[in-house]
A and B are shown apart, each in its own frame.
Chain A
Amino acid sequence: MTYAGVWTIAEARDGALRQVSFELLTRGRKLADKRNTTLSSVVLASGISDETVRELIKRGADRVYVVDDPALAHFTAETFSNVLVKLIDTYAPEIIIAAATTSGRTLMPHVSMRTHAGLTADCTDLDIEEGTGNLLQTRPAIGGNILATIKTPEFRPQMSTVRPRSTKPAPVDASRTGEIVRLPFDPALRDGRVRRIGFKANEGEEVDIQSADVVVSGGKGLKKAENFALIRELAEKLGGSIGASRDAVDRAWIGYPHQVGLSGKTVTPKLYVAAGISGAIQHLAGMKTAETIVAINSDPDAQIFRVADYGIVGDLFEVLPLLNERLSREVGSK
Chain B
Amino acid sequence: MNIVIPIKQVPETSNVKMDEKTGTMVREGVESIINPLDLYAIEAGIQLKDRFGGTVTVISMGPPNAEKAIREAIAMGCDGGVLVSGREFAGSDTWATAYALSESIKKIGAFDLILCGERATDGDTGQVGPGIASFLDVSLATYVSRIVETDEKEIVVERLIEDGYETLAMRLPALVTVVKEISYPRLPTLRGKQKARKTAVPVWAAAEIGIDAAKLGLNGSPTRVVKIEMPKVTRGGKIVPAPDEESAVRAVDGLVDFLKSKDFI
Residue of B169, B228, B241 touching A148 (CB-CB under 8 A): B228
| Cα–Cα, bound, A262→B128 (Å) | 17
Could you give, for residues 1-35 of chain B, a 1 whenever the CB lies within 8 Å of some chain A CB and a 0 otherwise?
00000000000011110100001010000000000
The CA-CA distance from A109 to B127 in the complex, in Å, is 5
Distance in angstroms from A317 CB to nearest chain B CB is: 10
For chain B residues 204-251, which have a beta carbon within 8 Å of chain A? Answer: 221-231, 233-235, 237-243, 245, 247-249, 251
Q: Which residues of B contact A285 (CB under 8 A)?
A: 13, 121
Does residue A118 face the partner (Cβ distance < 8 Å to B)?
yes
How would residues 290 to 323 of chain A score, 1 for a CB under 8 Å from any chain B CB and 0 otherwise? 0011100000100001111111111100110011
Which of A142, A264, A309, A319 is B237 in contact with, Cβ under 8 Å?
Answer: A309
**Pairwise interchain contact B163-A323, C-beta atoms closer than 8 A:** no
Given the known interface contacts A119-B223, A136-B226, A282-B13, the answer about A193 and B231 at a Cβ–Cβ threshold of 8 Å is: no
Is A153 interfacial (CB-CB < 8 Å)?
Answer: yes
- B222 and A116 within 8 A (CB): yes
Which single residue of chain B is at the shortest CB-CB distance from A203? B164
Q: Does A193 lie within 8 Å of B139, measured CB to CB? A: yes
Whether B237 pairs with A118 at a CB distance below 8 angstroms is no
- B252 contact from A149, A152, A193, A322, Cβ within 8 A: A322
Confirm or deny: B147 has a beta carbon within 8 angstroms of a beta carbon on chain A: no
Stretch of A1-9, A24-32, A74-82 with 4 or more beta carbons under 8 angstroms from chain B: A74-82
By DSSP majority rule, is chain B's interface helix, strand, loop, or mixed?
mixed
B160 pairs with A330, CB closer than 8 A: no
How far is B245's CA from A256's CA once the two chains are assembled, in angstroms?
34
Known contacts A113-B135, A294-B255, A309-B235: A118-B125 contact under CB 8 Å = no
When the two chains form the complex, which single residue of A120, A256, A312 contacts B251, counting CB atoms closer than 8 Å?
Answer: A312
> Is A263 touching B233 in the complex (CB atoms < 8 A)?
no
Q: List A contacts of B259 (CB < 8 A).
A: 238, 271, 294
Question: A280 near B255 (CB under 8 angstroms)?
Answer: no
Docked complex Cα distance between A144 and B264 (Å): 25
Choose one: A117, A238, A288; the contact of B222 (CB below 8 Å). Answer: A117
Q: Is A281 an interface residue (CB 8 A)?
A: yes
Chain B residues with CB under 8 A of A110: 130-131, 133-134, 140
B82 within 8 Å of A by Cβ? no
- With a CB–CB cut-off of 8 A, which chain A residues contact B122? 141-142
Give Cα A300–Cα B242 distance, bound, in whole angstroms: 10
Contact string against B for A residues 105-126, beta-carbon threshold 8 Å, 1 for contact and 0 otherwise: 1101111111011111110000
**Which chain A residues (45-79) contact chain B, with CB distance < 8 Å?**
74, 76-78
A101 within 8 A of B: yes
A238 x B238 contact (CB < 8 A): no
Quick check: A77 and B130 within 8 Å, CB to CB? yes
Contact of A314 among B158, B247, B260 (CB under 8 A): B247
Contacts of A262 in B (CB 8 A): 13, 36-37, 121
B28 to chain A, nearest CB (A): 16
- Asked if B165 CB lies within 8 Å of chain A CBs, one says yes
Name the distance in Å between B78's Cβ and chain A's nearest Cβ: 21
Q: In the assembled complex, which residues on chain B have CB atoms less than 8 Å from the CB atom of A326? A: 252-253, 256
B236 to chain A, nearest CB (A): 9
Q: C-beta contact mask, B64-108 vs A, less than 8 Å → 1, else 0?
A: 000000000000000000000000000001110011000000000
How far is it, in angstroms, between the C-alpha of A212 and the C-alpha of B37 when the chains are bound? 25
Cβ distance A121 to chain B, nearest Cβ, rounded Å: 4
Point out the residue from B15, B169, B170, B262 that lies within 8 Å of A271, measured CB to CB: B262
Q: How far is the CB of B219 from chain A (nearest CB, A)?
A: 10
| Interchain CB contact under 8 A, B251 and A144 | no
30 A-B residue contacts at CB 8 Å?
Answer: A77-B142, A105-B126, A105-B130, A105-B142, A106-B140, A111-B134, A113-B98, A117-B95, A121-B127, A143-B121, A148-B227, A149-B225, A150-B224, A194-B174, A199-B166, A200-B164, A200-B165, A208-B162, A238-B259, A256-B180, A271-B259, A281-B13, A282-B14, A288-B233, A293-B235, A306-B233, A306-B234, A309-B238, A310-B254, A312-B242
10 tightest Cβ-Cβ pairs between the two chains A and B: A314-B242, A118-B222, A198-B167, A155-B222, A113-B134, A109-B127, A149-B227, A109-B130, A309-B237, A311-B239
